[in-house]
Amino acid sequence: MTTAKGTAAKGAAAKGTAAKRAAVKGTGRVTIREVAERAGVSVATVSRVLSGNYPVPPATRTRVLRAARALDYVANAHARALVGGGRNTVAVVLRQVTSPFYAQVAEGVEAEAATHGWLCLVGTTGGDPQREMEFVQLMREEGARLVILVGGVVEDDAYRERVARYAEALDAAGSRLVLCGRPAPDPDLPVLVVEFDNEAGARAITGHLLSAGHRRIVFLGGLPGNTALDARVAGYRAALAEHGLSEDAAYVVDCGLGRAAGLRAMTELLQGRREFTAVVAGDDMVAAGALRAIADGGLRVPEDISVVGYNDIPLAEDFSPPLTTVRTPAEELGRAAVRFALRDPEDAAGARHLLGTHIVVRGSVAPVERPS
């Protein structure tokens, strides 16, 4: 790593920036007072012009605006929020921004918030409940009006208690809690749930395999206790049942999510004695791992094994072969979370919105010649 100092040799590098700061005042920040003084009016008038929620005659108006422009006045958001009883802020809490799916949700939240002129704060937890709690606390101090918790989670007692505490605390402060893709521990809690219809999606994609003649289908990526995955597993089972398959036709590998998990689980599966012709992956990253394991095992997709994923991440069409998967419009999930929460403040207690998904057919599924 090189540290290359700029051409400080030019001498007038600082260009009097520091001096200017010292000259104006101690802090260097222009306040509404100075604008008022320069415009020859009171601070109240300046405030009215700038906040724009009170009529001011054009003459004074332009005078104030000119002064503000000349001084490069910038309002202090904290002072504003203090007197205004808070500022319009929405906070999103994610496990990590680097996950393509979560990132899209965050982008949706941010975009929707922006259209309403709200500020959007993003926090990551890395899956650590401790950090989640700290961030929620921070958002309480910040006065966020909307806190959105994103992402599936194992629903244990600690989780239930935690979310109940958030919900009550935020509700008491007049804020709202939205759970995106995770369950409400108690239907009476003042939270809003927005999530995809995981069961329907999994049923549809499993049905797609069944229609192609597959009868021995493995679900790879179960995670007992995680409601999103549990719902997908339920959908998978439901599809099998619909096609008249018996209960023990279902085979669920609880390897959890992530590329590494999929790779490992698929490798083991290939070495085992269980026969199968198709795989439903818990999500696209699991599918990515599975594809690699299959290729490493010397088999071909879809000729030997068909594979489908879940979520349709941006690179799914670049997998080899391009992945047939379930498209979950993640950005729309984020937008919807904000929209629902803002639309109907009284909608809070126990409301639940399910968003639809659809199948994207690419090249990772082939028909079976002789259905067994």
Partner DNA sequence: AGGGGAAGTTAAAACGTTTTCAGAAGGAGG
Partner DNA sequence: CCTCCTTCTGAAAACGTTTTAACTTCCCCT
Candidates 2-10, 145-153, 204-212, 218-226 — which segment interacts with a copy of itself by CB under 8 A? 2-10
Coil/strand/helix, residue 195: strand
Cβ proximity to DNA: between 32 and 288 the closer is 32
Rounded to a whole number of angstroms, the minimum distance from the CB of residue 188 to DNA is: 28
Among 2, 3, 7, 27, binds DNA (CB under 7 A): 27
Radius of gyration for the chain, computed over Cα atoms and rounded to the nearest angstrom: 27
Task: Tell me how many degrees the CA angle 36-42-43 measures, rounded to the nearest 5.
Answer: 65
Site for DNA, residues 45 to 64, rule: CB under 7 A:
45-48, 50-51, 53-57, 59-60
Candidates 148-156, 215-223, 242-250, 314-322 — which segment interacts with a copy of itself by CB under 8 A? 314-322
Per-residue b or e along 213-237, where b marks 16 or more CB atoms closer than 10 Å to that residue's CB: bbbebbbbbbbeebbbbbbbbebbb
> What is the residue type of 283?
D
Check: CB of residue 222 under 8 Å from CB of residue 364.
no
Rounded to a whole number of angstroms, the minimum distance from the CB of residue 28 to a copy of itself is: 5
In the stretch 259-298, what mask flags binding to a copy of itself with x, by CB under 8 A? x----------------------------x--xx--x---
Among 45, 214, 319, 337, binds a copy of itself (CB under 8 A): 319
Rounded to a whole number of angstroms, the minimum distance from the CB of residue 162 to DNA is: 23
Q: List the one residue out of 240, 229, 234 whose CA is nearest residue 206.
A: 240
Burial class of 313 by CB neighbour count within 10 A (0 to 12, 13 to 18, 19+):
buried
Site for DNA, residues 79 to 98, rule: CB under 7 A:
79-80, 82-85
Residue 25 to residue 278: CA distance in whole angstroms = 72
* Residue 32 binds which of a copy of itself, DNA, none (CB < 5-8 A, kind-dependent): DNA
In the stretch 204-243, what mask flags binding to a copy of itself with x, by CB under 8 A? ----------------------------------------
In the stretch 160-199, what mask flags binding to a copy of itself with x, by CB under 8 A? --------xx-xxxx---------x--xx-x------x--
Task: Tell me how many degrees the CA angle 121-125-126 measures, rounded to the nearest 5.
Answer: 135
Among 25, 69, 274, 300, binds DNA (CB under 7 A): 25
DSSP-derived secondary structure for 41-100:
S-HHHHHHHHH--S---HHHHHHHHHHHHHHT----HHHHHHHHTS--EEEEEES-TTSH
Residue 87 to residue 143: CA distance in whole angstroms = 7
Residue 85 to residue 166: CA distance in whole angstroms = 20
**Interface with DNA (CB under 7 A):** 11, 14, 21, 25, 27, 29, 31-33, 40-48, 50-51, 53-57, 59-60, 73-76, 79-80, 82-85
